[in-house]
């Protein structure tokens, strides 16, 4: 089949009754590059060039935006049941690839009315199966204690974003946090209390993320890492300080800490102009984490 002219595709998309957007995922923040009139009716604002995660957050809330972001980063095809403007939809996400491309550059997202899937029972079963499928996939990528990404999954995300930033001559920001004297905390309160502490710290970090495209992970026994596309060093430092404050304000008593009577974190950060770095993504990340461990 011969390639279809871009203008023809745009006319087909415009005529589609379901709200639809096309997202560029090989650029920072995954901007919306195309939408149809049906989507404009749903969103009520022009979302062109807006970050995809921000679009989903506006329409379906932050938790859904984070779940959608995880799917896009994994380059999976899936659907999510959502409610928007008082109507129930299935949000369908599908990666778009050209035959000769190894890296997916685009995603299409469209909002299908839930009633179109079948009866209420069929919709419920469909949603349960999708949720179970996503959960099985998450088990290999999530840290079992905190629910954040694990070290391996974070490295995959970081390497992908590093490659995109190198091509686009843009910056990446990484902040690594270490729980202060966490071995002493575990020695006093035991393993179960330590796991509870890690979960609460992970939740505090997640609450501080500024947008759904930010990524947080637990990469070691007492270490967390946050990846952002922010380029302003002062802003990243303020962001890291806000997370440190949020952890301290959890008020988790730490009787053997030399830093504070509560659980605290120390952090190190780096804002890298990737195209100017002389090392690859893994070496850069390893260097940052080594500094934090000292």
Task: Look at residues 43, 36, 76, 38 and name the one whose alpha carbon lies nearest to residue 57.
Answer: 43
Quickly tell me which residue has 């770095």 as its tokens.
Answer: 277
Q: Looking at residue 127, what is its pLDDT?
A: 55
In the predicted model, residues of the chain with pLDDT beneath 70 are: 1-8, 114-140, 212, 291-294
- SS3 annotation, the chain: CCCCCHHHHHHHHHHCCCCEEEEECCCCCCEEEEECHHHHHHHCCCCCCCEHHHHHHHHHCHHHHHHHHHHHHHCCCEEEEEEECCEEEEEEEEEECCCCCCCCCEEEEEEEEHHHHCCHHHHHHHHHHHHHHHHHHHHCCECCCCCCECHHHHHHHHHHHHHHHHHHCCEEEEEEEEECCHHHHHHHHCHHHHHHHHHHHHHHHHHHCCCCCCEEEEEECCEEEEEECCCCHHHHHHHHHHHHHHHHCCCCECCCCCCCCECCEEEEEEEEEHHHCCCCHHHHHHHHHHHHHC
Q: Looking at residue 209, what is its pLDDT?
A: 87
Task: Look at residues 174, 168, 169, 181 and name the one whose alpha carbon lies nearest to residue 155.
Answer: 174
Give the rounded distance of the alpha carbon of 222 from its chain centre. 21
- The whole-angstrom separation of Cα 232 and Cα 251 is 30
- The whole-angstrom separation of Cα 264 and Cα 268 is 14
The token pair at 254 is 């730490």
Domains annotated for the chain, with CATH where assigned, are 6-139 (3.30.450.20), 151-293 (3.30.70.270)
């Amino acid at each position: 089949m011969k390639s279809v002219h871009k203008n023809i595709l745009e006319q087909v998309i415009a005529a589609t009754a379901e709200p639809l957007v096309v997202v560029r995922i090989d650029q920072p923040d995954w901007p919306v590059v195309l939408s149809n009139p049906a989507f404009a009716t749903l969103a009520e604002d022009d979302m062109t060039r807006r970050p995809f995660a921000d679009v989903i957050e506006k329409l379906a809330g932050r938790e859904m935006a984070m779940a959608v972001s995880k799917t896009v980063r994994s380059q999976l095809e899936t659907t999510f049941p959502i409610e928007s403007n008082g109507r129930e939809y299935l949000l369908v996400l599908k990666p778009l690839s050209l035959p000769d491309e190894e890296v997916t550059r685009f995603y299409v997202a469209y909002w299908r009315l839930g009633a179109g899937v079948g009866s209420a029972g069929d919709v419920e079963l469909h949603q349960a199966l999708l949720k179970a499928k996503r959960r099985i996939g998450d088990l290999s990528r999530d840290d079992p204690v905190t629910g954040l990404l694990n070290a391996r999954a974070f490295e995959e995300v970081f390497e992908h974003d590093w490659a995109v930033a190198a091509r686009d001559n843009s910056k990446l920001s990484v902040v690594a946090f270490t729980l202060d004297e966490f071995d002493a905390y575990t020695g006093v309160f035991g393993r179960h209390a330590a796991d509870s502490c890690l979960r609460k710290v992970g939740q505090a970090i997640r609450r501080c993320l500024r947008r759904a495209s930010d990524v947080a992970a637990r990469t070691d026994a007492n270490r967390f890492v946050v990846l952002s596309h922010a380029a302003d060093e002062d802003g990243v430092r303020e962001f890291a300080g806000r997370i440190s404050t949020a952890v301290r304000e959890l008020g988790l008593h730490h009787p053997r800490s030399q830093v504070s009577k509560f659980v605290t974190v120390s952090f190190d950060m780096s804002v890298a102009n990737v195209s100017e770095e002389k090392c690859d993504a893994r070496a850069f990340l390893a260097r940052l984490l080594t500094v934090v461990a000292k």
